[in-house]
Amino acid sequence: MATNVLMPQMGESINEGTLTKWHKKVGDKVQREEILFEISTDKVDTEIPSPVSGVLVQVLANEGSVVAVNSVVAVVDESGVGASPSTPAAKPAAAPEPVAAPAPAPAAVASAPLAPSANDAVEESNRAVKSSPLVRKIAAEHNIDLSKVAGSGENGRINKQDLVSYIEAAKSTGSGLVASAAQAAFSAVKTAPGAAIDSTGGQISGTVDGVRVERVPMTQMRKKIAEHMVMSKRTSPHVTSVIEIDLQKIVDLRGKFKDKFESLHGFKLSFMPFFMHAALEGIKAVPIVNASVDGDAILYKKDVNLGIAVALDWGLIVPVIKNSTERSFVGLARELENLASKARNKKLAPDDVKGGTFSISNFGGFGTIIGQPIINQPQVAIMGIGAMVKKPVVVNDAIAIRTTCHVVLSFDHRVIDGSDSGKFLSTVKNTLENWALPVV
């Protein structure tokens, strides 16, 4: 009996994913629930297990392929004899607009050529613009740069009607639809004589403008991060405020109770739960930082779902602690430990990374004193934590050595003002410097 293995639906808003790695090859035996392949979407990287035991007899999507959800990516023969059955055509992802669904993505994605056409350049640029796969498909067919199209959806998302209106307006005025800047950027890269070429035709070493270079394609996660960051800067007018905090009380408290905490709860007490609690107090004082923008309206979120940025060897991901205000200090610490472990081991589920309403980034863990984090759309604010350093400070008119750090708030100036930011950061500072919550 042959069983089709499908590209899973990794979240209600996700229409496609990139198959990043096969753990088995054709002819290999596979057990039910054994990891078969890995995928990457704009929400999460995860490992996909085999739905049945048997022999992998067909692989229908190569590593690097962008595949529509519910498409067949492989066939497993449960009889174990390795027969190669006929396989039905892949099912395309449902289009978000009420029109015919787009054709499934091609089975393989080759390395980008050195001198792509203008259309290829625009397609690559369009991936950074907030839009549906259908909109990007139509844009590719008409050679349209989506960054030139005004979106009427949430956070400037471009829908089909926005694109149709743009096309009609362009036709009436006779204006060009391809950005000359994109063309110039791609045509500027030329293959140097004697450059090394990989098996797919992509340059991996050579010279550009007299400089020796090595060409390495971005990972799928890196591409998604790039797209999201560019979209955020395009969407929100960013402003960053900074405050300095005396953390000596927190340092002493953690030093006193960390061993007892670990023996009671089975994991180490880090500094992050202290900052998480302080951020929750700041949100209570300034609810607007836990909102989002919907057109010309503000959506105040009644639930607080803290997103905590986790740095991985292969990129960055932001797991979300749901209903954070309903958790105790230990509960926050435990869920943080659980999600961070799942992230490092590629075990995060789609629900683990969606629904965030406010984010925290700990760039100080790498020694950075002050940073300006980019807002995680569609949120309107993100708190950043700088490195903890010992320094002389004035305490009761005397100089003392204290552990301090800088905490920043990057915020969307469309809806948050400097006074709101100041009140939020002051609340965070007061909570940490005058800590009164039990930690065990």
Residue 275 shares a structural domain with residue 409: yes
- Of 34-38, 80-84, 179-183, least confident by mean pLDDT is 179-183
The dihedral through the CA atoms of 22, 20, 219, 337 has a sign that is negative
Residue 217 shares a structural domain with residue 246: no
CATH code at position 184: 4.10.320.10
Stretch 179-207: mean pLDDT, rounded? 47
Residue 51 shares a structural domain with residue 179: no
| pLDDT value at 63 more than 70 | yes
Residue 203 shares a structural domain with residue 347: no
CATH code at position 14: 2.40.50.100
Last residue of a domain, one of 174, 193, 221: 221
> Is 231 a domain residue?
no
Residue 295 shares a structural domain with residue 399: yes
> Is 384 a domain residue?
yes
Q: Produce one character per residue of 36-47: b if its CB has 16 or more CB atoms within 10 Å, e if not.
A: bbbbbbbbbbbb
For residues 291 and 25, give the distance between their C-alpha atoms in angstroms, rounded to a whole number: 47
> Is 108 a domain residue?
no
Considering only CA atoms, which of 428, 400, 435 is closest in space to residue 251? 435
The dihedral through the CA atoms of 207, 213, 219, 223 has a sign that is negative
> Is 99 a domain residue?
no
Residue 340 shares a structural domain with residue 365: yes
Last residue of a domain, one of 221, 254, 280: 221
Between the two ends of the chain, the Cα-to-Cα distance in Å is: 55
CATH code at position 344: 3.30.559.10
Residue 66 shares a structural domain with residue 202: no
For residues 53 and 33, give the distance between their C-alpha atoms in angstroms, rounded to a whole number: 8
Residue 382 shares a structural domain with residue 289: yes
> Is 32 a domain residue?
yes
User: How sure is the predictor about 58, in pLDDT bands with cuts at 50, 70 and 90?
Assistant: very high
| pLDDT value at 193 more than 60 | no
Q: What is the DSSP string of 188-250?
A: T--PPTT-EE-TTS-EEEEEETTEEEE--PPPHHHHHHHHHHHHHHHHS-EEEEEEEEE-HHH
Number of domains observed in the structure of the chain: 3
> Is 110 a domain residue?
no
Residue 73 shares a structural domain with residue 9: yes
Given the residues 259, 303, 351, 417, select the one marked as catalytic.
417
For residue range 125-151, what is the model confidence (pLDDT) as tens digits?
Answer: 777 787 766 677 778 877 888 888 887
For residue 194, the model assigns a pLDDT of 46
Average pLDDT, the chain: 81
Long-range contacts of 157-162 (CB under 8 A, 24+ apart): 157/130, 157/131, 158/129, 158/130, 158/131, 159/97, 159/131, 159/132, 159/135, 160/97, 160/99, 160/132, 160/134, 160/135, 162/135
> Is 111 a domain residue?
no
Task: Give yes or no: 417 in active site.
Answer: yes
Given the residues 28, 303, 413, 420, select the one marked as catalytic.
413
Structure-block tokens of residue 111: 């390395």
For residue range 266-302, what is the model confidence (pLDDT) as tens digits?
Answer: 999 999 999 999 999 999 999 999 999 999 999 999 9
Number of Cα atoms under 13 Å in the Cβ half of residue 354: 13
- State which residues form the domain around 18: 2-77
Task: Give yes or no: 238 in active site.
Answer: no
Residue 273 shares a structural domain with residue 137: no
Stretch 317-329: mean pLDDT, rounded? 94
> Is 133 a domain residue?
yes
Residue 251 shares a structural domain with residue 217: no
Residue 298 shares a structural domain with residue 370: yes
For residues 236 and 252, give the distance between their C-alpha atoms in angstroms, rounded to a whole number: 39
